[in-house]
Copies of this chain bind each other. A is one copy, B any other.
Amino acid sequence: MIIIMETNSTHEQIENVIESVKKLGFRPHLSYGEEKTIIGVIGDERQITDSYFKSLPGVENVIPILKPYKLVSRDFKKESTIVKVENVLIGNGHRVVIAGPCSVENEEQIIKSAQIAKKYGANLLRGGAYKPRTSPYTFQGLGIEGLKLLQQAKKVTGLPIVTEVMEVSEVEIVAEYADVLQIGTRNMQNFRLLQAVGRINKPVLLKRGMSATLQEFLMSAEYILSEGNYNVILCERGIRTFVDYTRNTLDLNIIPAVKKLSHLPIIVDPSHGTGKRDFVIPLSLAAIAAGADGVIVEMHPDPNKSISDADQTISPEQFADLMKKINALESLIKTWSQNGR
Contacts and interface: CB of A to CB of B under 8 A. Distances in A.
Nearest to A29: B31
Given A31-B31, A40-B38, A52 B288 contact: no
Contacts of A2: 2, 38, 63
A7 interface: yes
A239 interface: yes
Given A168-B168, A304-B56, A278 B260 contact: yes
A231 to B, nearest CB: 17
A55 B278 contact: no
Contacts of A210: 211
B254 A311 contact: no
Given A4-B65, A29-B31, A38-B65, A211 B242 contact: yes
A257 B242 contact: no
Copies of this chain per assembly: 4
Interface string A191-229: 110010000000000000011011010010011001000
A222 B89 CA distance: 42
A279 B290 CA distance: 9
> Which 4 pairs of residues, A with B, have the shortest CB-CB distance?
A211-B211, A54-B311, A186-B189, A286-B290
Given A55-B310, A134-B189, 17 more contacts: A29-B31, A31-B40, A33-B66, A46-B137, A47-B137, A55-B304, A56-B304, A68-B135, A134-B219, A186-B190, A211-B211, A214-B244, A243-B254, A256-B276, A260-B278, A283-B290, A285-B290
13 contacts: A29-B31, A31-B42, A34-B42, A47-B137, A50-B311, A52-B304, A239-B241, A239-B243, A241-B241, A241-B251, A243-B254, A245-B253, A245-B254
